[in-house]
Amino acid sequence: MTNTNYWGLTVLDIAIVVIYFIVIVIIAIRAARLVKSRDDYFMAGRRFGKLIQTFAAFGQATSVENVTTTTTMVNSNGASGIWAMLAGGLVNLPVFWMTSIWYRRLRMLTLGDFFEERYGSKRMAAFYALCQTIFFVLIAAIGLVAMSKTVSAIAAKPVSELNQVERVEYNKALEREKLETADFELLSAVQQKRLVKLQELNPKKEYSYVNENMLIILVAFITLLYASIGGLAAAFMVDLIQGMFIILLSILLIPFAIAKINLQFGSQGALGAFETMHKVFPASFMEIWGSPSLIEFSWYWILGFSVMIVITTAVQANQMTACGSAKNDYTARYGFVSGMLLK
């Protein structure tokens, strides 16, 4: 069960992925049986309880682009980078407590319907729908690309298994790295021209058993399949499963990270790992409110960004479905606020 096959994954890894996709398809088929009207398709009959509503809000607020953005910001700005995710969420909780009931009481299917009703204009509703479509296409694209690159890195090819074409490009990448580490002024004219040419070619150094484009197409197709067949009920049930795994895997990362730090730096225990972090990183990296050397997330940036998020909250298309599908007003409020707090 632990032998690696030609995909670079173990049989157990592949079995878990296959089972996951099978479960998603089964959920879509079962949810499709409950779809009898537009209200069933877009709002799941407004029958969801607190558990589904909580993980629906959590799932809609937690996605791949959040992970990549937060990781990048923390890597470059230290602890203050966490405000790239927290700034809007924490300040928005009181706002969500009030607005979630409003969406539930509108009794509409989409926010496009609200814009048409509010302004008496189908053109306004169409313009809003177009803007939200562009926004979600971009978000989906970012998520799919990040997912494919993550899986590709997990299923990386060892150098010994590269084919002839890949090995040639790999060697060019190594040559480029070697030239870039040297002082450009000390390189000969031939080496300088060679470096410029290699930088233009931008050869790949890492290869994977997984074709990123095919993986994106596959995942996009399965997502489209269960969403189009089962509607909102299928989407929220998948959010429930994914949300539980996101929380579980996030917690499991912590002991592995501590063990990695202790192994690399010779420290011991959880406290030892944190002591090592304080020794290795500059003091500015531990400033949650930013510092003179890392001023991107200052208190006034956090305040300004939070206000901006509060103002734009009301027009996010997913607000209607995340709140309007609850079985009653209190469930809508409880589910959405608890889901955002859980994030």
pLDDT tens by residue, the chain, 343 residues: 445 555 667 788 888 888 988 888 888 888 888 888 888 888 888 888 999 999 988 887 777 667 777 777 787 777 877 877 777 677 778 888 888 888 888 888 888 888 888 888 999 999 999 988 898 888 888 888 888 888 888 888 888 888 888 888 888 889 888 888 888 888 888 888 888 888 888 888 888 888 888 889 988 888 888 888 888 888 888 888 888 888 898 888 899 989 989 988 888 888 888 888 888 888 778 877 766 656 667 777 777 877 887 777 777 788 888 888 888 999 989 988 888 888 8
pLDDT value, residue 1: 44
Do 310 and 25 meet the contact criterion of CB atoms below 8 Å apart?
A: no
Compute how many other C-beta atoms are within 10 angstroms of the C-beta atom of residue 56: 29
Cα distance between residue 131 and residue 207, in whole Å:
37
In the prediction, which pLDDT does 130 show? 92
Q: Look-up: residue for tokens 């103002």?
A: 311
Encoding tokens for residue 62? 């937690």
| No. of helices (H) and no. of strands (E), the chain | 14, 0
Beta strands in 78-204 (DSSP E): none
Tokens of 270: 């959880």
pLDDT at residue number 294: 60
Q: What are the tens digits of pLDDT across the range 207-216?
A: 888 888 888 9
- pLDDT digit string, tens, across residues 4-53: 555 667 788 888 888 988 888 888 888 888 888 888 888 888 888 999 99
The 3-state DSSP class for residue 68 equals helix
281: left (phi over 0), alpha (psi -120 to 50) or beta: beta
Cα(23)–Cα(200) distance, integer angstroms: 45
Reading the block at residue 285, the tokens are: 């990296």
Q: What burial class does residue 162 get, using C-beta atoms within 10 Å of its C-beta: 0-12 exposed, 13-18 middle, 19+ buried?
A: middle
Distance, in Å, from the CA atom of 246 to the CA atom of 112, rounded to the nearest integer, reads 31
- How confident is the model at residue 126, as a pLDDT? 92
Which residues, including other chains, have CB under 8 Å from residue 56's CB and lie 6 or more apart?
48, 236, 239, 240, 321, 322, 325, 335, 339
What is the C-alpha to C-alpha distance for residues 69 and 73, in angstroms, rounded to an integer? 6
What is the Rg, in whole angstroms, of the alpha carbon atoms belonging to the chain?
A: 24
- pLDDT for position 6: 55
**Rounded Cα–Cα distance for residues 281 and 312 (Å):** 36
What pLDDT was estimated at residue 8?
66
